[in-house]
Chain A
């Protein structure tokens, strides 16, 4: 049902119907914004990149042939765009994550979350994209396989390697936390 509805919107967008673009935006903006935020680390850049991603979707919508779900196609496009963006932009701007975490006030481990965000940026791209999609954005390995055009086994093994690499980077923070817990 969702897929049929999206196909109708896409057909209308191809015919220049802006209202359908608005409907597609409403459905995917939060999900794609999460991904943009993971790659940029701050809300302002994430908002800019969200615009770029939606424009890219619009520019390439004629090439969408419904061979995969729109969701998979859009995430593939967004991931490739964001990888290019983060490769081009080497400067690391101040992160907004603390600001986003504080109001939640739900007992999350804020120092570890902040350290993790910085650590994720140090991962090799292959590990990073799988970690973001799986542990941060909640995709299954089969979905990641479609988005990144790899096989599910590769996704699993890259996730394991990413987690272990993060553990190495975060060792001082994790040890400190263990000390405090004792």
Chain B
């Protein structure tokens, strides 16, 4: 066996168990060569410190989220239709499950939310998530208080509401990631009215 093969074997022995034959050959070579023993000691020392010093990654930063927003791969078709409709669902749910407000109040509220979304993306997402969770709780409570014969239609409503809740979360992400969806605000209001009719007729 030449030196090159012995070096390979020595290096391999640092990472995995050798076969009985390989082990016997390496032992025999090391017994005869002080240089090989020294090499084994040095390579072990190098391997022992190689993995030292592994710092922890920073948490996901606002700066990265902003850069993500500029490069997020949202598909053109979805960008056009999906985000405004999902935002409409979010607004409809707020209207349906929260105390009544005047249209002017609603306009201000929605615009303020979108502004807040841009300004405080991370915090806003968390607040919105909590509100959506609270809405879901209200919807379930509402359903449980209904007479049994109305339960089926209200189950369907709950299913619909749950789908809308999913869309709400996507809408929030989309609004944060894609400020240009704000331009579709008028469409959002139109869609919201249609959606409210559907919910109230159910």
> Are A and B associated in one complex?
yes
* CA gap between A157 and B8 in the complex, in Å: 7
In the complex, the answer to whether A26 meets B73 with C-beta atoms within 8 Å is no
Whether A59 lies near B71 (C-beta < 8 A) is yes
Could you say which of A18, A61, A104 has the most chain B C-beta atoms within 10 Å of its C-beta?
A18
B residues 136-163 touching A (CB-CB < 8 Å): none
Q: What are the interface flags for B33-47 relative to A under an 8 Å C-beta threshold, 1 for contact and 0 otherwise?
A: 000000101110111
B78 within 8 A of A: yes
Chain A residue nearest in CB terms to B47: A135
Contact code string A42-84 (vs B, CB < 8 Å = 1, else 0) = 0100110011001100110110000000000000000000000
Q: State the CA gap A160–B58 with chains docked (Å).
A: 33
Within 8 A of A (CB), among B48-68: 48-58, 60-61, 63-65, 67-68
Q: Are A167 and B43 in contact (CB under 8 A)?
A: yes
Q: How far is the CA of A100 from the CA of B75 in the complex (A)?
A: 42
Which one of A14, A50, A116, A138 contacts B57 once the chains associate, using CB atoms below 8 Å? A50
Does residue A125 face the partner (Cβ distance < 8 Å to B)? no
* Total residues of chain A contacting the partner, CB 8 A: 57
Q: Could you tell me if B52 and A17 are in contact, using CB atoms closer than 8 angstroms?
A: no
**Contact of A16 with B74 in the complex, beta carbons under 8 Å:** yes
CB of A29 within 8 A of chain B? Answer: yes
B contact residues, total (Cβ < 8 Å): 47
Instruction: From known contacts A32-B57, A138-B51, infer whether A167 and B46 are also in contact, taking CB-CB under 8 Å.
Output: yes
Residues of B at under 8 Å CB distance from A? 7-8, 11-12, 14-15, 39, 41-43, 45-58, 60-61, 63-65, 67-69, 71-75, 78-79, 125, 169-170, 173-174, 176-178
- List, sorted by A's number, 17 A–B pairs whose CB atoms are closer than 8 Å: A13-B73, A14-B73, A16-B73, A16-B79, A17-B170, A33-B57, A46-B55, A47-B58, A51-B67, A58-B72, A97-B53, A108-B49, A117-B53, A137-B51, A156-B8, A164-B11, A167-B39
**Which A residues have a C-beta under 8 Å from some C-beta of B?**
13-19, 21-22, 25-26, 29-30, 32-34, 37, 43, 46-47, 50-51, 54-55, 58-59, 61-62, 96-97, 100-101, 104, 108-109, 112-113, 116-117, 131, 134-138, 156-157, 159-160, 163-164, 166-167, 170, 174, 177-178
